[in-house]
Structure 1
Amino acid sequence: MTPMLENRLFDEIVIGDRAELTRALDLDDIRAFASVTGDLNPAHLDTDYAAASPMHGVIAHGQWAVALISAVLGTRLPGPGTLFVRQHFDFLAPARPGDTLTAQVTVTAREARHKHLTLACACRNQRGEALLRGEVEVSAPRLKLRMQAPDLPQVMVQAHIGYGRLLSAAKRHPPLRVAVVHPCSGEALDGAIEAWHEGLIEPLLVGPMARIRALAEAAHADISALQIIDTPHSHASASLAVAQVRAGHAAALMKGSLHTDELLHAVLDKDLGLRSERRLSHAFVLDVPGHPRPLLLSDAAINIYPTLADKRDIAQNAIDLARRIGIESPRVALLSAVETVNPAITSTMDAAALCKMAERGQITGGVLDGPLAFDNAISMDAARIKGIVSPVAGQADILIVPDMESGNMLYKQLTFMADADAAGVVLGARVPIMLTSRADGVRNRLASAALAVLLGNTAHPPPQAPAAPD
């Protein structure tokens, strides 16, 4: 039932009148408050940062308690029509997720000429500890009002949670020596510098020295501590960056402002590249708000129409990545339009063959099932309605798409319509390769670097000192 709101006019209020409101506080409340106000202080949102802070954990914004005081004044005493005149508060202790807060106001003075009221305010937690004390002066309502409270839209907090754990895991490793290939745009150079400042990578900048230094100067970025290997153009940048990896002077590559095809051409060179026994594939690690775990998607960027053999490597590459980011036995959904094998739909036949290959040990480290449609791969309800009994259905960690077109469309739907973050890395080469985009935000760039750190520090020994080209 919708509650009723009723105010009290100045003449109906006497000194000593009191009202209060009690409200439970959880992490979603804190995130919603941050979203509405724009106060993104990590003390309120980042569990790892907050744990190392003097507060030893996440705390609510100080203004949360003030907002509860305002709610008491605006809905109970004096009620609707109340206007703030002045306020003063002392903040005594923080509120934390799990607390139950009680905000209380008490009338201490009346001023008849302007119909102003002074009220003492306090906010306490469930243990009776005072979090806030203060005083407000308000203008009492001028018109009597009794009405139903308006219906409000339901607020659903869809927080990005996956990358915090990913970054924390990466920071437990030493910085990875990364050859940054042709960082000749502001976005490309910024991405490398951001990851450097976060302690994730040690950049080796490979590109035209004058252009790189000019970009840094324009951005007021000090890169004097970084080595730059001077090159005349992007083709040379790609070749020299790959050469630095082959010589052991870098343990990963980061794409700058050159075409992906140009970088991969150098990587795939039969004699001077970084080929391994695996086919190259790309994987996105998606942080989808509202989804309880990271979601890996492959391949949406490199393999256009992969063969069955290609899909075997795509699946194995994705499994290896999932295990490196802490998913011990990843569940792999082999996607198609349907969940039954149909000889007219090649992707269902491939899915069935891949499952048999996993049974025979040709794909290891994960649990595969397919064909599965997208809905019953990620939704337990969808799988239950369709009667699918599977260790993967409804709880997939990895989505293997039939081709690049479907993968790219799915990736863009999740990022543009579901507000997913997408960190990407190229797998199957001798070192991880970060394909950052101009459209990537800071969080995505750092997460891509974190993926490379987790892969690179495991697969490769510490790099040697960088060498300048002959």
Structure 2
Amino acid sequence: MEAKHAKYQRLIEYCKTLPPMLTAVVHPCDPSSLAGAVEAAEMGLIAPILVGPRERIESVAAQAGILIAGYPLVDAPFSHAAAAAAVQLVREGKAEALMKGSLHTDELMSAVVSRDSGLRTARRISHCFVMDVPQHEQALIVTDAAINIAPSLEVKMDILQNAIELGHALRFEEVRVAILSAMETVNSKVPSTIEAAALCKMVDRHQVTGALVDGPLALDNAINLEAARIKQIESRVAGRANVLMVPDLESGNMLAKSLSFLAGADAAGVVLGARVPIILTSRADSVMTRLASCAVAALVAEDKRASGKVTG
């Protein structure tokens, strides 16, 4: 059995060979978010720019014994202002990623999606978990379990393309996407099966590119070859999926948390579809998960640098 965190450890070790990613850390006003940013910096994953109320950040650092003297600090009086200032750093080319501190996710994302001053692209913004599941051979991408509540077919196209591009950034040899539902047959009474079939036809017509995509697939025959064989599903994806695309946020959230709390998985997270990757960490995240989230974002940023592209 592969050691716990082995997939994340390989990811982090590779990212240490890359230039540190210039990262605006938004409102790091509690010990866990500040320590997470500093630890990622000490490992060479990010070059943090701390954005938030100077006195409060310095007070937290002093009380927790976190050394921040070597890092630039952009003073912003409160969380909304910090989010706006961090977004502006990206717009000015002074940061190539955002990292959430101790503010609410919606505060950060409202600055990101602002029509006039945000980081929108033509692509819909979506979230991916990169999950390290013990006893499963490779990392699994699960999307979207955090942002798009009940996505339309049009939005699902963008969620799918974002996840495929993440798979390429993570150096997957082959990106294989299972579009999940409760069953593997198209059923007019289950809308997610019809949308899965439509997405597969969009892939056939090159409206979505870069991966093998199949659906609808149930979770068992998406990731277990024997389950796919028993159901007699002939597919290059079934039983071998490394990207799991869920029908809606509720099912995705339950899947990700089931893997975390019942199967002992870790869940690094990143938001895609904006001009730069956005690292969304939770106060409940382990140090390893925080570092892995930074490493995932670093690979996305490196992919953007290499291709000279902005999503959308």
| TM-score normalised per structure 1 | 0.64
**Which structure carries more relative contact order (alpha carbon 8 Å, separation 6+)?**
2
Q: Tell me the SS of whatever aligns to 2:86.
A: helix
The CA distance in 1 between the partners of 2:103 and 2:4, in whole Å, is: 33
Match of 2:187 among 337, 342, 352: 342
Match of 1:418 among 258, 263, 266: 263
Aligned to 2:136: 291
Amino acid corresponding to residue 243 of structure 1 in structure 2: Q
Aligned to 1:396: 241
For structure 1, the residue ranges without an aligned partner over 5 or more in a row are 1-27, 29-156, 462-470
> Which has more strand, going by share of residues?
1
Alignment of 1:211-222 (within 5 A): 211-222=56-67
Alignment of 1:68-147 (within 5 A): none
Does residue 128 of structure 2 align to residue 246 of structure 1? no
Aligned to 1:178: 23
Amino acid corresponding to residue 244 of structure 2 in structure 1: L
CA, structure 1 residues 459+292, in 2 after alignment: closer, same or farther (shift >3 Å)?
A: same
Aligned to 1:120: none
The CA distance in 2 between the partners of 1:311 and 1:258, in whole Å, is: 28
The CA distance in 2 between the partners of 1:225 and 1:457, in whole Å, is: 24
Runs of 4+ in 1 over 6 A off after TM superposition: none
Q: Deviations for 1:315-362, whole angstroms, at most 9, x for unmatched residues?
A: 100010011111132000000000000011110000000000001111
| Cα distance, 1:457 vs structure 2 | 2.5
The CA distance in 2 between the partners of 1:185 and 1:164, in whole Å, is: 26
Amino acid corresponding to residue 47 of structure 2 in structure 1: E
Q: Tell me the SS of whatever aligns to 2:47.
A: strand
Alignment of 1:36-55 (within 5 A): none
Does residue 51 of structure 2 align to residue 206 of structure 1? yes
The CA distance in 1 between the partners of 2:5 and 2:28, in whole Å, is: 28
The CA distance in 2 between the partners of 1:193 and 1:460, in whole Å, is: 24
Does residue 198 of structure 2 align to residue 353 of structure 1? yes
Alignment of 1:270-419 (within 5 A): 270-419=115-264
Match of 1:187 among 20, 29, 32: 32
> Which has more helix, going by share of residues?
2
CA, structure 1 residues 456+158, in 2 after alignment: closer, same or farther (shift >3 Å)?
A: closer
| TM-score normalised per structure 2 | 0.96
Q: Deviations for 1:213-247, whole angstroms, at most 9, x for unmatched residues?
A: 11111121211111111111001000000000000
Q: From the CA coordinates, give the structure whose radius of gyration is larger.
A: 1
CA, structure 1 residues 379+158, in 2 after alignment: closer, same or farther (shift >3 Å)?
A: farther
Q: What is the root-mean-square deviation of aligned Cα atoms in Å?
A: 1.1
For structure 2, the residue ranges without an aligned partner over 5 or more in a row are 307-312
Does residue 81 of structure 2 align to residue 236 of structure 1? yes
The CA distance in 2 between the partners of 1:399 and 1:238, in whole Å, is: 31
| Cα distance, 1:271 vs structure 2 | 1.1
User: Identity of aligned pairs, percent?
Assistant: 57
Amino acid corresponding to residue 147 of structure 2 in structure 1: I
| Cα distance, 1:460 vs structure 2 | 3.9
- 8 Å CA contact 1:251, 1:431 repeated in 2: yes
Amino acid corresponding to residue 184 of structure 1 in structure 2: C
Q: Tell me the SS of whatever aligns to 1:364.
A: coil
Does residue 276 of structure 2 align to residue 431 of structure 1? yes
The CA distance in 2 between the partners of 1:381 and 1:299, in whole Å, is: 26
| Cα distance, 1:158 vs structure 2 | 6.2
- 8 Å CA contact 1:251, 1:460 repeated in 2: no
Amino acid corresponding to residue 426 of structure 1 in structure 2: V
| Cα distance, 1:212 vs structure 2 | 0.5
| Cα distance, 1:458 vs structure 2 | 2.8
Aligned to 2:68: 223
Q: Tell me the SS of whatever aligns to 1:424.
A: strand
The CA distance in 2 between the partners of 1:163 and 1:294, in whole Å, is: 9
Q: Deviations for 1:418-442, whole angstroms, at most 9, x for unmatched residues?
A: 0001000000000000000000001
| Cα distance, 1:164 vs structure 2 | 1.7
Q: Deviations for 1:173-193, whole angstroms, at most 9, x for unmatched residues?
A: 100000000001111101101
Amino acid corresponding to residue 189 of structure 1 in structure 2: L
The CA distance in 1 between the partners of 2:50 and 2:9, in whole Å, is: 27
Q: Tell me the SS of whatever aligns to 1:406.
A: helix
Does residue 13 of structure 2 align to residue 168 of structure 1? yes
| Cα distance, 1:169 vs structure 2 | 2.1
Amino acid corresponding to residue 197 of structure 1 in structure 2: E
The CA distance in 2 between the partners of 1:331 and 1:162, in whole Å, is: 18
| Cα distance, 1:160 vs structure 2 | 3.1
The CA distance in 2 between the partners of 1:460 and 1:432, in whole Å, is: 12
